[in-house]
Amino acid sequence: MRRPELDAMLRHAASGYPFEACGVLVGTDAADHRRVLEVIPVVNRETESPRVRYQIAPEDLIRIQREARDRGREILGYFHSHPDHPPRPSETDRRIAAEGLSDGVVHVVVATQAEGASAARAWVFRDALQGFAEEPLEID
């Protein structure tokens, strides 16, 4: 990921505080190298517990997927913030990933506080048994 994309993700995550903010990571996936080329912020559609959960609307995902495909790119994963918590997947994140089609998907979690975003870490969901494994988040 390039620095401008990381900065955009951190800004969006901080802007949602004290609620979770979220978005989509778009780029290319060639052999053993994923490259995030776009960070697309979306509105957190979670209405019951937005401080501890996020939801990306299906219509947002469909639109982003179509636009990415038109540019020869694909959805690589998602990002969301954890207000006042560390940048690692929660048990809720693991459970929701296990219920969906998340095997091999990148999830970046951003720690946010009232002062802003403080850290981002990347994770890949392996499967329901293995859960998340941390991945290097390389910034150019």
Active-site residue set = 20
* pLDDT for the residue 134: 95
User: Would you say the pTM of this structure is higher than 0.85?
Assistant: yes
The predicted-structure confidence for 32-90, as pLDDT tens digits, reads as follows 788 999 999 999 999 999 999 999 999 999 999 999 999 999 999 999 999 999 999 99
A 10 A CB-CB count for 93 gives 21
Question: How does pLDDT run across 91-101, given as a tens digit for each residue?
Answer: 999 988 888 87
Q: For domain 3-135, give the fold.
A: Cytidine Deaminase; domain 2 (3.40.140)
Question: What does the radius of gyration of the chain's CA atoms come to, in whole angstroms?
Answer: 14
